Amino acid sequence: MLRILYFFIFLCITFTHISAHAISVIRDTEIESVLVNYVRRIFNAAGLNPDNAQVVLVNDESVNAFVAGGQTIFVHTGLITQSKYVDDLIFVLSHETGHIVGGHVVRGMNIYDNAQTTALISTILGGLVAIAGRPDAGLAVMMGGTSSAVNIFSAYRQTEESSADRIAVDIMNKTRYSMKGFENTMNLIQAQERLSSGDDFSYIRTHPISRDRLKALARFTQNSLPVHTDIRFELIKAKLIGFLNDPNRTLRLYQKDNSLVGRYARTIALYRLHRFDEAHLLLDSVINEKNNYPYFYELKGQFYLETGQLDKAIFYYQKAIDLMPNAPLMRLSLGQALLEQQTVQNAQKAIPHLKYVLLKEKETPYAWKLLATAYQITGQTKEIPYVMAEYYRTMGDMKNAKRMAQKAIKTLSPKSVSYQHAQDILALPEN
């Protein structure tokens, strides 16, 4: 199920402060699985442990991806929906892997700290000059220091971007993807550059401008391997377009495409237009063509859940889980469908699914809340305070988390795992 969530990530936007900006994150089992499979292969080619591959999908229409420490790659939806071939996406993922291999994030923060120091010293000196009676000269010193700081950081960033490009070339050769993907991506980025700014001051950019990158890697793009056709990529691209684009535009885009991919996109667009009968008929044709693909059953379950047809939703979510039992988000949706029927029997069925979700993804607030609901319906009330303590903890509400943890230790067995976790919550700082 496509879920859009929001969280905060710290981004360096000036040399005087760091500001937190909210970004929306999409959770979807199909898209995450496909992207992680790509990154695992890339990590293996780069000499990294493929088991550490993680991907976060960011709801942003720009052609971009980034790493922010660790081995997690953040991928913008626009990179997928605007990439013509899977090779385009693979080059960007390989480039970001190059940053991980090169340790660029950590070194970049050190360069950033040095640049900040340069700017700070210049500001202090400029202030002293101004106090001495030369405010014009003081301002010049301050501005000069800030410019130097920007140049220090920008020069480093351009160097590391070029280094990541070269590592990506090596990965593309090892994985046998086409360097035409690099050319296609640079053309997309060039279009973004023209739209975003008419200025061409490459020295203040954090990336070398795209035509310079094309020139630097020209010898690697000659006689490139042919691009790939990959149904997995085409399906996740169609899914994102179906859910994120205007549905009428999606129908126009895929109106003559009766392939599996085209029907997948149109199914979602029809559903979003509340043309439910047409959407189900088209989705049935998709399922009949590829009846071992769990994500089609998951989508069918989502359609029924969101329209209140709970028995059918449960049936199709269970079909999806039978084909893919290790999918926490699918089990979360099935748990929700079971609980919405408000019966003790189905609430009991929901509990193991929700516990599986929390075993794999403990920091999922909604799963904790659903589990509390399941315990309420089944009369297991002594379990609720601990579960709600975890819910408040994952929401960042430490005051209520501690309040519920205090209640939990009064009712739980001191030998239980829940009791120990409640004690851990009480030991956490409140802010």
Global pTM value? 0.81
The whole-angstrom separation of Cα 264 and Cα 279 is: 9
Contact (Cβ atoms closer than 8 angstroms) between residue 323 and residue 295: no
Average pLDDT score over residue span 91-98: 95
- The answer to whether residue 14 scores a pLDDT higher than 50 is no
> Of the candidates 66, 63, 52, 54, which has an alpha carbon nearest to the alpha carbon of residue 21?
66
The answer to which of 15-24, 86-95, 196-205, 262-271 has the lowest mean pLDDT is: 196-205
Give the neighbor-by-neighbor strand order of the sheet with 65-67.
3-12, 18-27, 54-58, 72-76, 65-67
Q: State the residue for tokens 């009949």.
A: 288
pLDDT at residue 4 in the model: 58
3-state helix, strand, coil split of the chain in percent (to 5) is: 70, 10, 20
The answer to which of 96-100, 135-139, 173-177, 232-236 has the lowest mean pLDDT is: 135-139
- The answer to whether residue 209 scores a pLDDT higher than 90 is no
Percent of the chain residues past pLDDT 90, beyond the cut: 65
pLDDT at residue 293 in the model: 98
Neighbours of 7 (CB within 10 A): 10
- The answer to whether residue 151 scores a pLDDT higher than 90 is no
The whole-angstrom separation of Cα 394 and Cα 389 is: 9
pLDDT at residue 367 in the model: 97
Task: Spell out the alpha helix ranges (H) of 197-343.
Answer: 210-216, 218-221, 231-244, 247-253, 260-272, 276-289, 294-306, 310-323, 328-340
The whole-angstrom separation of Cα 407 and Cα 114 is: 49
Identify the band that residue 141 occupies on the pLDDT scale cut at 50, 70 and 90: very low
pLDDT at residue 323 in the model: 98
The answer to which of 2-6, 128-132, 341-345 has the lowest mean pLDDT is: 128-132
Highest mean pLDDT of the ranges 18-22, 58-62, 225-229: 58-62
Phi-psi region of 47 (alpha: psi -120 to 50; beta: other; left: phi over 0): left
The whole-angstrom separation of Cα 295 and Cα 31 is: 10
Percent of the chain residues past pLDDT 70, beyond the cut: 74
- The answer to whether residue 200 scores a pLDDT higher than 50 is no
- The answer to whether residue 431 scores a pLDDT higher than 80 is no
Average pLDDT score over residue span 337-351: 98
pLDDT at residue 165 in the model: 86
> Of the candidates 184, 174, 187, 179, which has an alpha carbon nearest to the alpha carbon of residue 225?
179
The answer to which of 180-184, 261-265, 393-397 has the lowest mean pLDDT is: 180-184
| Residue 333, token pair as written in the block | 């949706």
The whole-angstrom separation of Cα 138 and Cα 117 is: 17
* Furthest C-alpha separation in the chain: 82
Identify the band that residue 210 occupies on the pLDDT scale cut at 50, 70 and 90: low
Q: What is the pLDDT of residues 96-114, one digit of tens each?
A: 999 999 886 544 444 434 4
The answer to which of 60-74, 131-145, 326-340, 374-388 has the lowest mean pLDDT is: 131-145
Identify the band that residue 256 occupies on the pLDDT scale cut at 50, 70 and 90: very high
If 0-12 CB within 10 Å is exposed, 13-18 middle and 19+ buried, where does residue 9 land? middle
Identify the band that residue 90 occupies on the pLDDT scale cut at 50, 70 and 90: very high
pLDDT at residue 287 in the model: 98
pLDDT at residue 188 in the model: 80
Higher pLDDT, 86 or 225: 86
In this structure, which long-range contacts are made by residues 405-413, counting pairs with CB atoms below 8 Å and at least 24 apart in sequence? 411/382, 411/385, 412/382, 412/383, 412/386
Grouping H, G, I as helix, E, B as strand and the rest as coil, residue 230 is: coil
pLDDT at residue 103 in the model: 81
The whole-angstrom separation of Cα 143 and Cα 147 is: 6
The whole-angstrom separation of Cα 65 and Cα 82 is: 13
